[in-house]
Structure 1
Amino acid sequence: MEQDAKIFVAGHRGMVGSALVRRLEQAGYFNLLTRTSQELDLRNQADVADFFAAEQPEYVLLAAARVGGILANNTYRADFLYDNLMIQSNVLAQSHQHRVKKLLFLGSSCIYPRLAAQPIKESALLSGPLEPTNEPYAIAKIAGLKLCEAYRTQYGHRFISAMPTNLYGPGDNYDLANSHVLPAMLRKFHEAREEGHANVEIWGTGEPCREFLHVDDLADACLHLMLHYDDGQPVNIGTGRDISIRDLAELIREITGYTGAIRFDTSKPDGVPRKLLDVSRLRDLGWEYSIGLREGIEAVYREAFVTV
């Protein structure tokens, strides 16, 4: 990408989008196009068409999405499916109409089958049933990935797709009703310490394993793909390492300084038993993560909860 190229970062206020903006600016890209959801509703076909016609972006990083944890995904099933289908379809269609030079679509590791062989290779896509609690979101993301493939096949567009693992970092969502497991735990343990609670309740058995990637590492990987990858096959982005929810809870208890007990509510769902990505394709492209899990969690905890 040329340093002065017009680059549209869709979803720039979200955790992922803001990390992409930081990374692009660090790399010397200065002509970034951004719009808040109040300025541009990506679900509105006409508004997106007007934006592309007026601004003529040359490159697109599609990080805009409706996201959330198990509770939000399972509660707002229609909203997650509709909103994400509309956002990505409108942006991809206008990127096609205006022949952007290259587009990166960000999917999610939840697109893979619930019981996919571990670690999960990109080829596992559509090889089995999805996790029921986040199926609508996953279906939307699969549709976006396949639309990228179709535009590439039919029209020759340089649309690429990346599948990030579970993310955390600056700008994360700490709302207990809608957040993912790691930020939810940080808030729970912090508040339990501050308020002197005897125990912290964690959903499920604690046995499932999850992989976590700092969002700044994701942004670096995305830039690497924009500069060095041009193929229709999706690429997993992760660390290649996972941790059980039980061990994650213990780690966060240490980081927050909480001394009470941890109680697992086994009446609540666990979600997928294990979700570890095979990142060998990304390693072969010359990229690996650099921010360790303890280091990353300590940094976001200081930023989000510790006042100096």
Structure 2
Amino acid sequence: MVTGGSGLVGKGIQAALANGRCGETPANEKWVYLSSKEADLRDRRKHRPTHVIHLAAMVGGLFKNMSHKVEFWQQNVAINDNVMHWAKEYKSNESYAYAKRMIDVLNRCYNEEYGCNFTSARRHAASTPLRQFIFNEDLGALMVWTLRNYDSPEPIILSVGEEDEVTIRDAALAVVSGMGYTGEVVFDTTKSDGQHKKTASNAKLMALHPEFQFTPFKQAVKQTCEWFKANYDTARK
């Protein structure tokens, strides 16, 4: 079962399976894609899944996140809690430890949105705004591979390599090129860039799945822009 199945990554999983990037689907596999309109994540009795790829979330852009921090935190923790509640439990101090760590995040959210004078420790790092972008179909294929082949509770990062980081500026210009736009492009430097660097290592993934080939960034952007233009009238906006 895929929660958030109608979103970008959920559609990537569907495309990866349909395009044969995940190999032949075993006869005992049945994929169910759920959206918030189709399922209550608190009720598992309808489908009784044996495996769950959990993508459902309350999402929004940078500025919506900045202005509704408490709501985003509360809603997404509630969604995750509903899913994890129905999963098999295992004994660990991690639940306590992570809950304690998350209070620092919640403290900051309450301070910035409501002015509550809680205390939180922070560190800052100034660097060039860089991001690692992954094609949704690549991510879909990797999620299916993980479901079928990765049997460990330890996290695994599904990402392009550190060497494939792209600046936000270059990403925007790639979209401009992919859309065939020839007008002026203005970068509003008065607005926040968000976090400057979020580098993640995919060394563990590549050690376990070395044959996987990522779609090159510019090719992925071009395909995405072509899909957008072809489906603009019917795509979710």
Q: How does 1:260-271 map to 2 (within 5 A)?
A: 260-271=183-194
| Structure 2 equivalent of residue 218 of structure 1 | 139
The answer (yes or no) to whether the contact 2:179–2:226 under 8 Å persists in 1 is no
| Structure 2 equivalent of residue 295 of structure 1 | 219
| Structure 1 equivalent of residue 177 of structure 2 | 254
Instruction: Determine helix, strand or coil for the equivalent of 2:190.
Output: coil
| Structure 1 equivalent of residue 97 of structure 2 | none
| Structure 1 equivalent of residue 159 of structure 2 | 238
Q: Which structure has the higher relative contact order (CA within 8 Å, separation 6+)?
A: 2
| Structure 2 equivalent of residue 35 of structure 1 | 34
Give the 3 Å change call, closer, same or farther, for CA 82–32 of structure 1 in structure 2: same
Aligned identity (percent) is: 26
1:10 corresponds to 2:3: yes
Instruction: Determine helix, strand or coil for the equivalent of 1:59.
Output: coil
In structure 2, give the amino acid aligned to 1:215: N
The answer (yes or no) to whether the contact 1:10–1:60 under 8 Å persists in 2 is yes
Structure 1 residue ranges without an equivalent (≥5): 1-7, 43-47, 100-125, 137-206
The answer (yes or no) to whether the contact 1:239–1:289 under 8 Å persists in 2 is no
Instruction: Determine helix, strand or coil for the equivalent of 2:52.
Output: strand
1:306 CA displacement: 4.7
Instruction: Determine helix, strand or coil for the equivalent of 2:37.
Output: coil
Which structure's residues are more often strand, by fraction?
1
Instruction: Determine helix, strand or coil for the equivalent of 2:175.
Output: helix
1:23 corresponds to 2:23: no
| Structure 1 equivalent of residue 121 of structure 2 | none
| Structure 2 equivalent of residue 86 of structure 1 | 78
1:279 corresponds to 2:168: no
TM-score, normalised relative to structure 1: 0.56
1:264 CA displacement: 2.1
| Structure 1 equivalent of residue 119 of structure 2 | none
Q: How does 1:120-139 map to 2 (within 5 A)?
A: none
1:31 CA displacement: 1.9
Superposed CA deviations along residues 95-150 of structure 1, whole A, max 9, x for unmatched, are 227x9xxxxxxxxxxxxxxxxxxxxxxxxxx7xx97x99x79xxxxxxxxxxxxxx
TM-score, normalised relative to structure 2: 0.71
- Identify the range of structure 1 (66-75 vs 246-255) with the bigger mean alpha-carbon deviation: 246-255
Alignment RMSD: 3.0
CA distance in 1, matches of 2:56, 2:39: 11
CA distance in 2, matches of 1:289, 1:76: 38
